[in-house]
């Protein structure tokens, strides 16, 4: 399979089938998407996956509760054990011993939980606008998790995600709205993030002692103008995770991989390719 070729298939994981899209060859790079309504791995990563696939075997699963992954309708989501079990089973099924994981927002929380519970499976971490500690839920995140399908509501959510709102077209809002109407999508979404949503956010957080115990090299990327997950969250993760680096992207909201795609790709390629180091604490001057 060439770098620009893509294939999608299902992998048996923990009694159900995980939908996986794959692109490229080389060392494995696992991309975990965020938690917006109607999101899929393909939609989350389509702008950057081809460039990353020039150097890596890029793996993009639909997490439980999202996309085309086929868990039973009666599934109860256990934060964060359900997703740790899913990704652990996926990597085991693919015969992968240890991978670099890129986690976007909610996907970052999954990556942190996996690194804590199954450190043998995680060689490096890239966390972008990630949740992972306790903080007061933002109005933007509460609005996103409380989404009720309409084109207007989807347009509002997309505006909240971005710094440059001119990038959000009516066509994009319509496409994302239609994705949120797919069979079972909204019912799963509402079961994932019921009120009070602060409780959902608290369940996602890792205890500080778990973060301090992480030994994987970790790159934190955060948009300076993120209204969904405050920049202070990544600053605190950087303080707690021993072997971490923080990069703050100016003129960027929650969509770092979309609004600053070239910078994001450069950062990930540099970080994923370099030899592991220890006790790195790097903060750019623009914080």
Annotation marks residue 74 as catalytic? no
Cis, peptide link before residue 136, omega less than 30° from 0:
no
User: Strand, helix or coil at 220?
Assistant: strand
H/E stretch holding 110: helix 106-117
Buried b / exposed e across 199-229, counting CB within 10 Å, b at 16+? ebbeebbbeeebbeebebbbbbbbbebbbbb
Q: Residue 42, SS3?
A: helix
Active-site entry in 55, 62, 222, 226: 226
Give the position of tokens 């960027």: 252
Q: Which of 19, 33, 55, 254 is catalytic?
A: 254
From the list 9, 72, 62, 11, the residue with the least C-alpha distance to 38 is 62
- Give the chain's end-to-end CA distance (angstroms, integer): 41
Residue with tokens 């159900």: 16
Tell me if residue 254 is catalytic.
yes
Q: Give kind and range of the element (H or E) at residue 30.
A: strand 28-32
Q: How many other β-carbons are positioned within 10 Å of the β-carbon of residue 281?
A: 12
Residue 170 designated active-site? no
DSSP classification of residue 120: G
What lies within 8 Å, CB to CB, of 244 at 6+ separation is 217, 218, 219, 220, 237, 238, 280, 281
The label of the residue with tokens 């914080």 reads 287
Contact 10, 19 (CB under 8 A): yes
Options 82, 105, 116, 123, the catalytic residue: 105
Give me the active site residues, please.
105, 226, 254
């Amino acid at each position: 399979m060439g770098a620009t070729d893509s294939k999608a298939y299902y992998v048996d994981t923990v009694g159900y089938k995980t939908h996986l899209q794959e692109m490229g060859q080389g060392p494995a790079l696992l991309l975990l998407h965020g938690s917006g309504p109607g999101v899929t791995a393909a939609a989350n990563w389509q702008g950057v996956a081809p460039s990353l696939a020039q150097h890596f075997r890029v793996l993009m699963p639909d997490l439980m509760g999202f996309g085309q992954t086929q868990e039973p309708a009666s599934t109860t989501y256990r934060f964060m054990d359900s997703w740790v079990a899913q990704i652990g089973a996926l990597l085991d099924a693919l015969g992968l011993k240890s991978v670099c994981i890129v986690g976007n927002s909610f996907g970052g929380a999954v990556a942190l939980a996996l690194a804590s519970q199954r450190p043998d499976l995680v060689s490096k971490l890239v966390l972008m606008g990630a949740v992972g500690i306790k903080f007061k839920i933002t109005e933007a995140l509460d609005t996103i998790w409380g989404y009720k399908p309409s084109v207007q509501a989807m347009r509002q959510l997309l505006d909240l995600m971005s710094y440059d709102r001119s990038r959000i077209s009516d066509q994009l809002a319509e496409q994302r709205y239609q994705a949120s109407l797919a069979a079972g999508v909204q019912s799963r979404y509402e079961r994932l993030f019921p009120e009070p949503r602060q409780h959902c956010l608290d369940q996602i957080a890792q205890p500080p002692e778990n973060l301090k115990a992480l030994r994987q090299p970790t790159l934190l990327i955060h948009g300076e103008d993120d209204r969904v997950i405050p920049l202070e969250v990544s600053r605190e993760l950087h303080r707690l995770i021993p072997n971490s680096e923080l990069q703050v992207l100016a003129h960027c909201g929650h969509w770092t991989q979309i609004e600053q795609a070239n910078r994001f790709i450069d950062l990930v390629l540099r970080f994923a390719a370099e030899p592991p180091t220890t006790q790195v604490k790097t903060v750019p001057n623009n914080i």
